[in-house]
Amino acid sequence: MNKFWIIFSHTYLEKVKSKTFLITTALLLLTVAAAANFQTIAGFFSGEDEERDKIAIIDNSDLLFGPYKQSVESANDSLELIPFTDLEEAGKTAVQEEKYAALVVMDMDADALPEATYFANNITDSSTQADLEEQLQYMKVAMSIEQAGFDEQAVQEIYAPVNFETVALDEDAKTLEEMFQAQGIIYVMLFFMYMVVILYGQMIAQDVANEKSSRVMEILISSASPVTHMFAKIFGVALVGLTQILLLVGVGYALISSRKEELVGSFLDTVGLVDIPVDLVIYAIIFFLLGYTLYATLAAMLGSLVSRSEDVGQLLMPMIILIVIAFLVAMYGLGAPESRIVTISSFIPFFTPMVMILRIGMLNLPLWEIGLSIAILIVSIIILGLIGARVYKGGVLMYGRTGSLKDFTKAIRLSKKEK
């Protein structure tokens, strides 16, 4: 056990002291700080003082400009409509010279309804174009209705939104609001899990492969058993990850709570970070740790099969594909948490961590389902750990060309007691 701690602390300290760790952590902290101050930064770039896009309007009917200007500017406050009194050709030149963002020529058609032509240097800025078109459409509809003889009262009633309430009859079912909130939290959790597993899985495999390719492994495993070594490495890297995550969460939390008033109601509400249910957080931590251990064991095993550290990526491919599939199933499940594929895959160990947490967050699952999936996950970790230890023991002594599944059997055979 003593040797476990020596390898564990060595792995942790060397990683935490490394330049890579310091740089990535600093970058991540900057990102968090930037995200927390997103509104200020965004405000800085598109500040109040910035000039609004000027749209030149030639209104040949002389009737449309007033109401059109009002409706467009209230719909999109970054646009300013200015009457253009010169000829159309002069207007086009002005747009080309970038005095105006666009030119709209309006008129009434034969039925006394509005029509318009939109000129711009390019028509990729579709939001401006869409806003202009949409507002003109409203005007046209209103005019048509008026021409048809409806009174204004009736028109307003037509436009008033319908009263549509949703009531869940099952008392345990989550309300629509809770659903949206859960979706937000789970999205963040899933993405987080995905990133962490890939990042730290790769770190473990790379570390094992480096020790193997620098041949220091043979000395290491002559002083401590490969199994001790493997698990000390897995948990050492886990602690590195935890350190990084705690730093990020701590800094993020401090920043957010210091500006809570400003942020509430915008960004935080949309992702549902205001009040996260405690049980969901606990489950997330459980599944996160178990998922990490499962994938880390797999990564260590794959890393032990590589003889040159350049080959790590190639051998990690199957693992990455598994994670991506799990992530995709979970993403699909965000929209359809009760579908069969989601239910089934929440019990497949490699998918469980992501898919089960999604189901827990979105549905009201009976406790036995959660318990069962945790049990399956733990059993698979133990089985994978045992196989991994065998492969590891043989793999670290195996040199030569690698990159195929044949190496698994070769490694296991090398670590076997009897032929």
Partner 1 sequence: MTLIIDHVTKRFGEFTAVNQLNLTIPKEEVFGFLGGNGAGKTTTFRMLLGLLDKTEGEITWNGETIDYNTSNLIGYLPEERGLYPKLTVKNQITYLAKLRGMEKKEILPELEKWLDRFKVPEYMNKKIEELSKGNQQKIQFISAVIHQPELLVLDEPFSGLDPINVEMLKEAVLDLKDQGTTIVFSSHQMSHVEELCQYLCILQKGRPVVQGALREIKRSFGKKNLRINADFSLEFLAEFPGVVKYRRVNDGCDLQILNEDVSQDIFRELQGKGFIRKFELEEPSLNDIFIEKVGASYE
Sites of contact with partner 1 (CB under 8 A): 3, 6-7, 10, 14, 211, 214-225, 228, 397, 413-419
Angstrom distances, CA of residue 185 to CA of 253, 276, 280, 284, 348 = 15, 8, 9, 10, 23
Q: Which is nearer to partner 1, 21 or 187 (CB)?
A: 21
Least distance to partner 1, CB of residue 406, Å: 13
Least distance to partner 1, CB of residue 214, Å: 5
Q: Which is nearer to partner 1, 59 or 407 (CB)?
A: 407
Q: Which is nearer to partner 1, 121 or 225 (CB)?
A: 225
CA–CA gap between residue 117 and residue 79 (Å, rounded): 17
Least distance to partner 1, CB of residue 13, Å: 9
| Residue 196: both structure tokens together | 């962490």
Least distance to partner 1, CB of residue 10, Å: 5
CA–CA gap between residue 297 and residue 381 (Å, rounded): 8
Least distance to partner 1, CB of residue 185, Å: 40
202 three-state secondary structure: helix
Q: Which is nearer to partner 1, 90 or 220 (CB)?
A: 220
Q: Which is nearer to partner 1, 6 or 317 (CB)?
A: 6
Nearest to 139 by CA among 112, 103, 110: 112
Least distance to partner 1, CB of residue 395, Å: 12
CA–CA gap between residue 292 and residue 135 (Å, rounded): 52
3-state SS record for 348-375: CCCCHHHHHHHHHHHCCCCHHHHHHHHH
Using left for φ > 0, alpha for ψ between -120 and 50, and beta otherwise, residue 272 falls in left
Backbone angles phi and psi of 58, in degrees to 5: -110, 110
Angstrom distances, CA of residue 94 to CA of 126, 133, 293 = 20, 21, 64
Least distance to partner 1, CB of residue 399, Å: 8
Q: Which is nearer to partner 1, 5 or 159 (CB)?
A: 5
| Four-point Cα dihedral 16, 20, 26, 29, nearest 10 | -80
Q: Which is nearer to partner 1, 232 or 357 (CB)?
A: 232
